[in-house]
Every structure is written in C-alpha cells, then in structure tokens.
Structure 1
Amino acid sequence: MHRPRTAEAEVAEELAAVRPGLLSRYTAALPGARAAVLSRLWRALAYEPLPWVERREPGRGSLVLRLRDGRRLHGPAADPYRTDAYVTAVRLDGAAYTDPAALVRDLAVPHCSAFAAELGHSAASAALARAGQPDGDPAGGRAWPRRDWEWEQRVVDGHPFHPGCRSRPGFSVAEQLAYGPEHRQVVELELVPVPAARCLVAGEWPPELRDAGRVLVPVHPWQAAHVLKRRGEARLAAHPLMSLRTLALPAGPHVKTALSARLTSSVRDISVASVTASAALSAFGEELAARTDGLLHVTRTLGAATDGSPDLAALVRESPAAYAAPDERVLPVAALATTGLPGSAAWLAGFARLALTAGLRLLELGVALEAHGQNLLVVLDPSGAPRRLVYRDLADIRVGPSRLARHGIAVTGLPARIVTDDERVLRRKLFGSLVGGALAAVAGSGAALREALETSVRDLPRTPDLPALLGEPLPVKALTLMRLSPGAAGDLWAELPNPLHGAEF
C-alpha cells in the first residue's frame, strides 16, 4: 500500500536546504521525539472516552485495549501523569509501531487522517526543536536566566500531555527556526498603521505605538506574510514566548498578536469582543488578586487594539517580571522542569500547597483559573523556594456570578461565554488545568504527584470544593478525542484516576 510522504522526510528536505549543519542532529533526535509523542498518545488511548475502544484490560506492567472491530492494541502500563518518553513502541494485532502517525493512520478510525498528519508534524517539529538546542538538552546546564523570555525558551517539547505538542501546520522549517521560542531568535514584528478613527482601542495604548493620527498595530511576521499579505511601515524587535504568538518587547511589556494558524488544538484569534472586554477583564483580575493576601498577582492588560478584524489585532500586557524583586525569578510553571527543583519531594509539596491554596481560594470566590503551565507562573526566592504566583491571560477563565455576588464582586463587562454558575464547569476548569495539567507535569509521575498532594493537602483551606478535589475522578480535557471530533463544539473531557484515592486525612 502506498504511504504518503512523511512529515519527517519533508522537514529533513527543507532543513538540508536552509540549515544543513543541523540535519544530522535532527535525524538523531527523531526516535526520542517519536517516543515523546507516542507516550502522549498512549495516555489518551488509555484514558480518554474514545468511542471505538470497547474495553481496557490492565495486566502486570502492560495494558491491552480491545477495539470495537475486534483488534487488540498492546502497550505498557499507562501512568496518566507521567511526562517522560516511556512508550517507545506499541503493538496493533502483533505489528509493532514506533511512529505515532503510522499507528493512528492504521487504526483507521473516523477523522484519523488529519490527526495522523498532525502527529507526524508534531514528532518532526519536536525533533527539530531538540536538534536546535546548543547541546541537545533543554536545560543544558546553563545558568538560570535573568530575563523572563529566556525562561520561556527553555521549554522545548511543548505541551506535556498533548500528542500535538509541537505540531505547527502552515509553518515551514525556516519559519519554525525563525519564530519558535525554543530556537531563541529575535522576531521583527511588523507595525501596521490603522487610522485612529477606524481603530477600536481599549485601555491605554502605548504612545510609542501611535503615529500622526494612526494606531500602529504589532503584527506577527507569519501573519503579515500569509494572512494580511502586507508589510508594516516599521518593525519592532521582540522575543517569542511559549505561546509563539505572544512576544516580549525589550522595554518589558508583552504583546499578544493575532496569529491565524492552529497551534496544538485550535486557531486562537483576537476577536473584537476580546478587545472590547480587555479593560474590564483586567480590572476584574486586579480585584481578584487583591483578595488573595499576596499569594497571586494577575498581569494587567495595558491596552488592546483592532481594526475590526480578528486578523489584525493585538493586546499589550504587563510582563510577569513586574511582580518579582530584583533577587527573585519569575518563570512559567512549564519551565520548572528545567530547574531541577521538582526533584525534591519537599519542594514539590510546597509548590503544590501554594498553587492549590490560591486556586481553591479563588474558586470559592467564584473564579476558576485555567492554571496550566503556560498561564501560571511562580516567583522563586533566591534559594529557589516558591513564594508567590502570577497568572496571565484571563481569556479562558470561568466565573460564577452567584459565588461572586456572595463576596460583593460584580461581573459587569465580562464576556458572557466565561460566565456560569455550573459548579461542575467551574471545578473542571480549575482541577483539570491545575492538578491534571500544571502540577502533574511538574511532578512527572503519578507517584510523585500523589506524594506531593498527600503532604500538602492537610494545609489546604477547607472550602466547599475541596471534597470534590479529593474524592472524585480528576477531570482533564480529552485532547485527542477533541482532535478526532471536528464537529463537536467546546471542550470534551476525560476522567483520570484521582491520585489521592484511598488516602486518609
């Protein structure tokens, strides 16, 4: 049977043309990148409610999936909280697969072709990212960064649990090398002028981004070339952050640009509604932070602008570094693995206590943060101890108006899509992102996560939501099911074994 040309081969061909000196390192990195993606995929196959999996049969050190068509998929015992590349091969009816894209293609389930292509690109881009590191290692023994954007560049493998962790469809190899934060290049944002009279501006747009009655909107160069098909009148040097479309300016603020490419799971534009609501959301975040007794700060949105199209819009936000003293470090939780700190059980328990205390207090107020490793940052003191948290990007939080009203907090001006009194929705949002995402990724395994939670939970605030956290299965987004369900609206969910099940407190 004819096999389509692989993403790995396409990347190798482009790399030979644009950066031939990197080709041998890319080739050497491919097996590890495939295993990293396959491990994420195996987690999904083992735990997500996939309609074509009939039942799961755990064995001693193994797991067998019986598919509805009678086939059997065999692999190692699955740890839903494990982050290393521990799955190097699985067997489908006796045939071994090391390539996640080939596996999904041969599973032949609905919508598998597009997803298989994504996984191929994910593995190839992950190998490219690894090959581009100075010594092949994300941390590389380098000294801890002083600047916030340098921390973001240390996160090489992307999302810790999404099989599409490095999929960047629409980006050539040259563009990945130029714009990917893990490749540590300076990106020249295009400054596209829009007459002030037809530009919607919220908050205080920086004066340096205005010119003679015009608003200068920063545009990502990929967006300028592929979507707007125009150049700006000037350029602004910036450093790409983990999200790729958000960049740090030399003076400190961060700029979130419109980037109409699907990264990981979806296309995330900047709608007119987002610009309109930005000031109200920012003020809401400040009010929330003031009620956490200094445990958590929320970065402010300084200004937002759009010409009325989601393709030409930008937000300017405070840098999280604004909330760290000169002798402290503030870094995304996703970058903690590059510090070596989570290797200490005591450190991990202290961090879990801090993060859960802040999250539960805000949930009691009526706010569920999307506290994954990109949005949530931690402030470390000079010894490396976690002291405070910083949260950025309020766009995907959920707020409960009834809970907020009990605490005298209004929801005026907030987008309707984030407002809900459904306790299940609120708890899913926080528990799935914070425990099933950020804390699990920092712990790196179910055993380490359980130990950290058992140690920290005795000191957590006894809020009405704590019993649900301790006694119910842990909800997480069913990331693979979502990619295989293109017609489904909104998030789909899976339930993971609660790492605290059976523990006594």
Structure 2
Amino acid sequence: MNASLPQSAWQSLPENFSALQFPVMTQRRPLTGNTATVSVSSDAGVLHARVLLNCYAREVAMQEHQLAVRSVASTRSLPPALRHYTGQVLDIQIPRLQSRICVGVRHVSVTGNYDYTTEIFLQDQQQVWRVAGWDVIAGIIIRDLSQREGTPFNQDLQQQITESVATMQHLLNAQADRQKPGQQSALSGYIASEQNLLTGHPFHPTPKSRSGWSRAEQQQYSPEHGASLQLRYFSVPADWIISDSLDGKDTAVHLQQLTAHGLQAEEGRVVLPLHPWQADWMLKQTRIAEAIAAGEIRDLGCHGQHFAPTASIRTMVAEDATAFLKLSLNMRITNCIRNNARHELAAALTASRVYRQIKPLMQMLFPRFHVLEEQAYLSLSFPENRQNAARAHKEIEDGFGLVLREGLAAPMAQGITPHVCAALFGNGMAGRLQTAALIEKFSHRHGLSFRQGLQQWFQQYAELAIFPVFYLLFEKGIAFEPHMQNSIVGLAEDGAPCSFFVRDLELTRLTPKGRALLKEQFADPQAISDIHCSDDAGWTRIAYCLLVNNICEVIATLANGNHSLYLELWACLRSTLQAYLAIFPHPEAARRIQGLLSGEPLPVKGNLLIRFLKQADRKAAYFPLYHPLGVVNEISAVA
C-alpha cells in the first residue's frame, strides 16, 4: 500500500520530519501472559504532565492558534537541552502569561496525538527556561484558563490532579509486585485487559482521580490491582423496590441467579447487592441507620460468587462472564459521582428495547457487531418519597441503583477473545507492545510483512467498528457512545479483529429518524424525552466517540511514531469511509463523510475545560479538530 500527500501538503510540513530515526514497531517475540507487568514508566508525574499537555494543546492552544510543531533549526530560542535534539519540537505559546512550553515529539500530529520524547520545558516571563514537572504544568494551565475566563484559580481541579498523580504512581509502583500469570484463558485475558489501564484516558486532566478511597481501599477495590471481591447484600421491603427488565422477569430473581448468594428473601422482602465500599458508605447515612434501627433494612454481609471490577471500577464481571453488574458508587471518579440515577437506569433499558427491534437486521448485515443489552435494572424508593417529586433522599436511593448487563460468555465459547479497546489503544507502552504482538502473530500466520499485516489489521478493525455504528446513526437514527472504554474488540485465534462490541447504553440518543422506534410502553415519558437529540448532536456524539476517541488512538498506537505509516493509516481510513458510502449511500451519510474527506474538522470534547469550569459533563463544549483525511490519497483495499 502506498499513500502520499499532495506537493502543497508536503511543503506545509516541517522540513526534516522524514529524517526522524524512530522505527516502526519492530519485530519482537510474541508477548506472553498479562502485559500489565510491562513497564510504561516509573514516574506518574511525567506521564501526567504529558496528559495535561494533551488536553491543553487540543482544547486551548490549537483553538487559539498558539501551537506549532517544528524542526530544531526552525524553532527560535530553544531550551539549551534541546539544541542538539534531532527530532521535532512541539512549541506552545501562552501569551496571557508571557510564557512558552517546548517539548520534543516524534512526529507531527494534526490531531494532537503526540509521542513525547523529552522532558517538558517552560519559559517564564524573564525568558528563563526550566524543566517543568506535572505540578508546574498544572499550575500554569489553570492560571492561564483563570485569566481567560476571568475566574479565580481552580483549587479543586489542582487537588484532583494531585490525587490523580498520586493514584497513578501508586498503581505503577504496585505493578512490580503483581505476579505474572501463565497461560491465560479467554476470560482471564479479557479481565486482564479491563484491569490494565494504568494511566487512563490520554486526554483527560484527571484520568486517575478517585476522591474518597484510602490506599488500602485502592488495593482492595481497584481493577488495576487485580481485585476480585464478593458483593455485600441487604434485605429491604419489596414495596421499596423499583425495577424493570427486558423479559419481564423479576429482577431480584435475575440477581439471585447471577450472584449465587444463597440467601433466601423473607416474604415481602428482596435481597439486593451493593459494592462493599458502597455498603460502608450507606451505613454512615442517617436515613439508612434509621432504617436499620427500625428493622426495615437488614445488613446480610458478603456472600456469593466473586466479581472482578472492570475499567470503570463500579461495573463488575461475573466469574463465568455470563453477565456484568453495574453498581453505584457515591464517589467521584474522574468527572462524576458514579451512582446510578433512576432516569439513567430507565434510559439504558429503553435503549435496549429500541435496539431489539432492529437487532435481527443488524445481525444479518453486520454479524460481527454486537450491542451488549442492558437486561434489567433495580433501584429503591423510600416510602416518604413515593409521592414526592423532590426526593429528599435522592442520593441514597440512587446509591442502590444497579443495571444487569449481557455478558461475553457466548462469544468466548465461539473461540473469540475479547479485549476492551482502551487496553490496546491510548494505553501507553503496555498497549503498544500488546498490539504489536497481535499484529506480529497475524502477519506471521498469513505470510505478510509486519507492515502489510499492520495495514490489514487496521482495515479490519476500522470496518468492524465504523460500518455498523455509521449505519445505526444514518439509517436508523441511533447514536451509541463507542469510545475506548465502551468498546470491546473480539480477537480471533490468529490475533486479528473479528468482532466489535458496544456496551453501556445509558447515554444512547435517538435522532429524529430514530424516534419512530420508540414505543409508549418502553418507559415513562421522562425517559423517552431524555433519549431524544438533534441530528447534529447525534453526529457529534459518534464523530467524537468513534473517530476521535477511538480511531485516532488506534492510528497513533499502530503508527508508533512513524510518520509515513501514520499517513498510510489515515489513507486507509479515508478508503474505509469511501467504501461505506459505496455500500450505504444515504444522503446524510454522504454529507457528513464527504465533509470529512474535504477537510471539515471533527468535534473534540473539552474534558479539561468542563473540569475547570466545574460544569456537568453534559454541558461539555466541543471544538474543531483537524485531521489528514482531506490531504491523503485514497488507496485500494488491502488484499
């Protein structure tokens, strides 16, 4: 495969980018065991400083045209330590503070997916250069945003960044003590992928912020520590329960079968599970203490089978992978307090009911695409709140909320090995080494060079992910959230992508076209209202989650600092989008895709700014993100 840029585009690139001496992912022996033991860095501060720079570059510097990537020879007033550097330099101006940041990067990245190769250097108002650690970078970013927005310095964000760095360092240090497993089953390999996200979201200012957990609780409950835990059970009056299920079956019966807790509910009562930390939190709440004192709620202790926490921390996978259980945690993890609000539970089930109507069609058109259904939910309502819309104890009631989700046992039984996408892409060196091993295996099996195998591997992944998700949006009006943590790739025995799964449906939205799929019996009017969105909002959701948060990270991981390969993968993506249009020439699809191929930007979510402004996640702004699709040549499909 050969992809090239028009002459005008070449002229706009730094003059010596092709002189970079960084190899493609080179041939190496296949990895064995859990790649969580691969060292990505011993210094969380370095990693976190780069994450903060990622956020600031995309959301602020790019938008204000204060960013450039240049050769050393073309960069003015370099830090002394970079004067003999042979790579490219990311140069960010901060005019509000009369400051400047320079750092070495492996190649140009229009989308801001930089590979950093040096320490970060900050030039202050006196034109003096110094190495800037994460705390300095965090401080200058918050100060700059404070001046821009006319607001006080955000101490809360500074504290959350500090917590995130400390947690990340704790996780990295603990990796040396984790025992390397031997041969893994599909299930243990999948759980390892969920528990291998050591650095978190590469474009989030606080990727490992977990307010409220002690170090002992981190060790006990964090997926990165390989946690496995029993749930804690409570007996409550049956008339306090609010629940629904796809098949009409009692949710409590579903839960008893899944958890094997062995507890018998007395007549008129229901046994429900909580995360053990959540149970301790509940027992500290006055309303729960009163209910226990009155005998209304009974603490039954920990029982039943063990569950492994997935990347989201609060979602558990069963020992046999037959189901997931999404529990509530009344603590802030990255953005939000992670309890399950009642309207979110209803929306998740509504989304599953909507999808069921077209599931046979999707299985016929895209047999390797799967949506993990939200099969049932359960929550609690105190008697005094039944007729009270204000819900005096909403936080506590929602803290009991849970969702029962379809598991992965069936595809595993068919020989498919699932991996959460975030473990392979955007997960630092651990993800890159594991992906390289998969591609090396695939290439060897099919008699391909490593580079040929890599291109074919990416094409298969892109088609598996893009075709069904675009079809759902443009033909049916359904917009899921297929970002890295919500996407699972199924791997065949030869290491190739063979299936694609989307999970976590609570924020599914329907565009005007999709509203025809709603039925009155699906949910209450509020849940139906919440699931609506405009065509523009639906496209923004898919373009960001799938193309920016997912595909951009895949390309950056596979290119591994090689710029010519980076452009070839973008050319392959261009051809994949053209192929979709050839098969499904919907007018709206043509408008959106041809826009991208003509250079229209993608939308990127303002994760840094939403945290700085202390706003709800649903109010996040989206900014234009430019990309190479408009300047790379189309290619023939990889043979």
TM class by shorter-chain length?
Answer: 0.7 to 0.9
Judged with a 3 Å threshold, the aligned counterparts in structure 2 of structure 1 residues 142 and 41 are, in CA distance, closer, same or farther, namely: farther
Deviation string 1:415-445 (CA, Å, 9 cap, x unpaired) is 4233112x22111101111111122223335
* Contact 1:53 1:65 survives alignment (8 Å): no
Q: Given the alignment of the two structures, is residue 272 of structure 1 paired with residue 306 of structure 2, yes or no?
A: no
Q: Which residue of 2 aligns with 1:459?
A: 579
Unaligned runs of 5+ residues in structure 2 are 1-38, 72-88, 147-152, 257-263, 289-297, 382-396, 425-430, 441-453, 635-639
Instruction: Report the 3-state secondary structure (helix = DSSP H, G, I; strand = E; otherwise coil) of the residue aligned with 2:49.
Output: helix
Runs of 4+ in 1 over 4 A off after TM superposition: 28-31, 50-54, 83-87, 134-137, 140-145
AA paired with 2:541?
K
Deviation string 1:178-214 (CA, Å, 9 cap, x unpaired) is 1111111212221122211111011131425371232
Q: Which has the higher contact order (CA 8 A, sep 6+)?
A: 2
Q: Given the alignment of the two structures, is residue 305 of structure 1 paired with residue 378 of structure 2, yes or no?
A: yes
CA distance in 2, matches of 1:473, 1:141: 44
AA paired with 1:284?
V
Instruction: Report the 3-state secondary structure (helix = DSSP H, G, I; strand = E; otherwise coil) of the residue aligned with 2:609.
Output: helix
Q: Which residue of 2 aligns with 1:233?
A: 300
Which has the higher mean CA deviation after the structures are superposed, 199-208 or 178-187?
199-208
Which has the higher mean CA deviation after the structures are superposed, 245-254 or 281-290?
281-290
Alignment partner of 1:146 out of 186, 204, 207: 186
CA distance in 1, matches of 2:202, 2:182: 22
Deviation string 1:247-298 (CA, Å, 9 cap, x unpaired) is 1122432111111111111223211223334432222232344332224211
Judged with a 3 Å threshold, the aligned counterparts in structure 2 of structure 1 residues 263 and 95 are, in CA distance, closer, same or farther, namely: farther
Alignment partner of 2:620 out of 486, 491, 505: 491
Alignment partner of 1:40 out of 51, 76, 85: 51
Q: Given the alignment of the two structures, is residue 481 of structure 1 paired with residue 609 of structure 2, yes or no?
A: yes
Larger relative helix fraction:
2
* Contact 1:52 1:68 survives alignment (8 Å): no
Alignment partner of 1:335 out of 390, 399, 423: 423
- Equivalenced residue count is 473
Judged with a 3 Å threshold, the aligned counterparts in structure 2 of structure 1 residues 324 and 44 are, in CA distance, closer, same or farther, namely: same
Unaligned runs of 5+ residues in structure 1 are 1-27
1:152 Cα deviation after fit: 0.9
Equivalent positions of 1:385-396 (< 5 A) are 385-396=496-507
> Percent of pairs identical after alignment?
24
Deviation string 1:309-367 (CA, Å, 9 cap, x unpaired) is 11111111111333444321122111233343367232122201221111211111211
Equivalent positions of 1:237-276 (< 5 A) are 237-251=306-320, 252-276=322-346
* Contact 1:253 1:319 survives alignment (8 Å): yes
Equivalent positions of 1:61-460 (< 5 A) are 61-76=89-104, 79=109, 80=111, 82=113, 86=117, 88-93=119-124, 94-107=128-141, 108-109=143-144, 110=146, 111-134=153-176, 143-147=183-187, 148-203=190-245, 204=249, 205-207=251-253, 209=256, 211-212=265-266, 213-229=268-284, 232-235=299-302, 236=304, 237-251=306-320, 252-292=322-362, 293=365, 294-308=367-381, 309-336=397-424, 337=431, 338-340=434-436, 341=438, 344-364=454-474, 365-400=476-511, 402-404=512-514, 409-410=517-518, 412=520, 413=523, 414-421=527-534, 423-444=535-556, 447=563, 448=566, 449-460=569-580
Instruction: Report the 3-state secondary structure (helix = DSSP H, G, I; strand = E; otherwise coil) of the residue aligned with 1:255.
Output: strand
Q: Which residue of 2 aligns with 1:8?
A: none
Larger Rg: 2
1:81 Cα deviation after fit: 5.0
* Contact 2:164 2:206 survives alignment (8 Å): yes
* Contact 2:61 2:92 survives alignment (8 Å): no
1:399 Cα deviation after fit: 1.3
Judged with a 3 Å threshold, the aligned counterparts in structure 2 of structure 1 residues 484 and 286 are, in CA distance, closer, same or farther, namely: same
AA paired with 1:467?
Q
Judged with a 3 Å threshold, the aligned counterparts in structure 2 of structure 1 residues 487 and 126 are, in CA distance, closer, same or farther, namely: closer
Judged with a 3 Å threshold, the aligned counterparts in structure 2 of structure 1 residues 430 and 376 are, in CA distance, closer, same or farther, namely: same
